[in-house]
Amino acid sequence: MTRLCVPLTGTTCPQMEADLAAATAGGADGVELRLDYLHEWDEAAVRHLLEAAARFPGEVIATYRTAAEGGHCDESEATRVSRLEFVGLTEAVDYLDVEYETWRASANIRQKIGLVCDVDAAETGRPRRRLILSKHNFENTPFDLESTLSVLAREPAHVVKVACKANSVVDALRVLDALRTSAAIRPTIGLAMGEVGLMTRVLARKLGAFLTFASLDAGKESAPGQATLDDMRRLYRWDAIGPATQVYGVIGCPVAHSMSPAILNAAFGETAHDAVYLPFRVEPNYAAFAAFVDGCVARPWLGLRGCSVTIPHKQNLLRYVEQRGGVVEPLARRIGAANTLCIEPGGRDDGTDTRVSAYNTDYRGAMDALLAGLGRCGTGSPPVNSDRNDVGLRRDSAWRTGPTKLDGVSVAVLGAGGVSRAIVAGLRDCGCAVTIYNRTRERAEALAAEFGAEARPNDERAGHRADVVINCTSIGMWPNVDDAPLPAEGLAHKPLVFDTVYNPIETRLLREARDRGCPTVDGVAMFVGQAAAQFTLWTHRPAPTDLMREVLARRLASR
């Protein structure tokens, strides 16, 4: 079983003891006493800390890391080794983590550490400390990681470890390669540091790593890119990850702020779908996008089955799938952007027979939210003619035009950017009469001409008489919550008001609309709708939308 280990980074022994208690309560399988973080070495206090560590139900690692390998020790090597001997001879510690460079520096050090760890314990069966030999690189990810692990394994170590900085998400894939190969034959820790290395930490359990690290809280990381213990166990559902777990994620740049991991991991848990959803930060160019997806496709053992794709890669997704001869949803092609990648593996180990497809669920989420809003206020017409073909999607698609038609519904769309483009395409495909208002009239006219809509000057937007108003701009988004994209007089005839902004959930526009008796639809409905459509495309089952909305609302409130 892969351990979930919390590094204790307090600067005093009492702080470490408090964090040890918190790690125990949080369900950690192991703790790492980062003794190099202590501002002063008080032997009595350290002994008291070790007595507390001896009562920890999991495994305890002691580390006294050198500054050269990312630690904080500025003592002499003799002092450092002496202190490692001191803690290693207690019953509290199960493992000593020693840098390979330290280990090979002198026979004297090898003898002292070797006696403490009893490197022959596998033969003698004596219950002594075990040795982790580690190597760190804080500049890049070397290309010889597997060779490095093999070199470490030739030493009398019980566990071998490499940790290196990932400068791209492809670096993280190479770390997973080395981890997978080494973990199959020996206890191994393999981690990529930095934001893009998160996948190596979460997927360590899938690949059978000896352990992975999770910080107790944000700000208590011992290395860049560590997720918190709570996020690992709750957000990423650590305990549910296994060798067969499928992998999904969101590709973007930036991507750390994305709410998608929270709602989709919750959906997987609710439906007992064996999958985990991760953020993938991919640099904003086509080459980086293609390199990442190609890298995942070439590793069928990784189990990547699909991705949400956000700014700035929506056009890159279309290009990638078209170049690979995959399936592109017709309306996504017309919109010129896709946000959902589906991956269907074949039977070859190199992934060359893998099939990829691209869809746009942004407009589907918007249409679902709009139809639900019209249904609540009693607007709409009889059920859709069953001969209609889902705006060009295959028959088993999750999305249907819905229980009511949108034919003939008039809609005023505010904005002419990427969100507007997807929504206008969806509205026109469903038969709506669309008028676009935008600060730059030329953009509105170009969008209107492309999809058969009308463009009007932005200063005329308050005089519209549409059945529905949809705000597709970012006006009113946090932190500019006092702004509104439509003057109050534009609400006088009580249209349905749909704001695609979801942070805050109730924008000023929606608040003013509600005060004037207008039916409203918030941006959460659209966000959940597009994510639910992705979930169904990937899993072929209905999404738990009520739970997804609840999780999103809770995350927004916490921020």
Q: Which element (helix H / strand E) includes 275?
A: strand 275-281
Phi, psi of 159 (to 5 degrees): -140, 140
> In one letter, which amino acid is 446?
A
- What is the residue whose two structure tokens read 């949400």? 308
Any bridge partners for residue 62, and if so which? 33, 96
Taking the mean position of all CA atoms in its chain, how far away is CA 51? 38
Q: How far is CA 549 from CA 43, 381, 456, 457, 553, in A?
A: 52, 27, 35, 36, 6
29: annotated active-site residue: no
Q: Reduce the secondary structure of 435-455 to three states and give it as a string.
A: EEEECCHHHHHHHHHHHCCEE
The residue among 331, 342, 448 whose CA lies nearest residue 389 is: 331
- What is the residue whose two structure tokens read 């709570």? 230
Specify the DSSP class assigned to residue 36: G
Phi, psi of 46 (to 5 degrees): -65, -40
Pair 119, 131: CB distance under 8 Å: yes
The residue among 122, 94, 212 whose CA lies nearest residue 162 is: 212
Specify the DSSP class assigned to residue 186: S
The residue among 33, 30, 29, 3 whose CA lies nearest residue 15 is: 33
Question: What tokens appear for 343 in the block?
Answer: 């991956």
Q: What stretches of 35-104 adopt beta strand conformation (E)?
A: 59-63, 95-99
Pair 140, 167: CB distance under 8 Å: yes
Cβ-proximal residues to 286 (8 Å cutoff; 6+ apart), any chain: 316, 319, 320
User: Per the omega criterion (within 30 degrees of 0), is the bond before 479 cis?
Assistant: yes
Q: What stretches of 107-245 adopt beta strand conformation (E)?
A: 130-137, 159-165, 188-193, 211-213
Q: What is the CA radius of gyration of the chain?
A: 28
- Catalytic: which of 19, 29, 171, 362? 362
- Catalytic: which of 29, 36, 158, 161? 161
CA–CA dist 461, 261 (Å, integer): 37
Question: What tokens appear for 191 in the block?
Answer: 């981690």
Task: Reduce the DSSP state of residue 357 to 3 states and report it.
Answer: strand
Cβ-proximal residues to 112 (8 Å cutoff; 6+ apart), any chain: 81, 85
- CB count, 10 Å around CB of 404? 18
Pair 184, 156: CB distance under 8 Å: no
161: annotated active-site residue: yes
- Catalytic: which of 135, 136, 206, 220? 136
Q: Which strands, in side-by-side order, build the sheet including 30-34? A: 188-193, 159-165, 130-137, 95-99, 59-63, 30-34, 3-8, 211-213
> Catalytic residues, which ones?
136, 161, 314, 362
